[in-house]
Amino acid sequence: MGSASDEPVVSEAVKTLEQLGIDYEVRVMSAHRTPERVAEYAQQARDRGIQVLIAAAGGSAALGGALAAWSTLPVIGIPLASSELKGIDALLSTAQMPPGIPVAAMAVGAWGARNAAFFAAQILGLQHPEIRQAYDDYRRELRER
């Protein structure tokens, strides 16, 4: 996440990852305030076993793009409503990536945070049967409700 103040929204993704049994780590780093930390994290992620990156940021929402610039892992962006534009700026910044450096853009806020975790589960489920099963079970529960 771009700032510690983003934690209430990011916690929705964390709860969903936990519900699905997906290991995760949470870091605070800013594409603007700590760009070296972002570059180092992105460049080392694959070697540390990370398979998907989720970036939550508001305003210019540059974190997702910065991670995607430094890594070829899938990046999922959660736009946050941190400015007077109520997240529209972050949504457009996340979605308008140049060709070849994609960031998957979720909805603004808590719904986007939860869907980022679900989308990560879909990606990870391609290689991890236990994650695929947890997500399939979740979807079945949704239908049954």
> 28-55 pLDDT, tens per residue?
999 999 999 999 999 999 999 999 999 9
Report the percent of the chain where pLDDT is more than 90.
99
Q: What is the pTM of this model?
A: 0.96
Q: Which residues contact 9 (CB under 8 A, 6 or more apart)?
A: 56, 78, 80, 109, 110, 113
Mean pLDDT confidence for 97-109: 97
Give the Cβ contact number of residue 115 at 10 Å: 18
30: Cα within 13 Å, side-chain hemisphere:
10
Give 57's strand partners: 79
Q: What is the pLDDT of residue 97?
A: 96
pLDDT, tens digit, for every residue of 62-82? 999 999 999 999 999 999 999
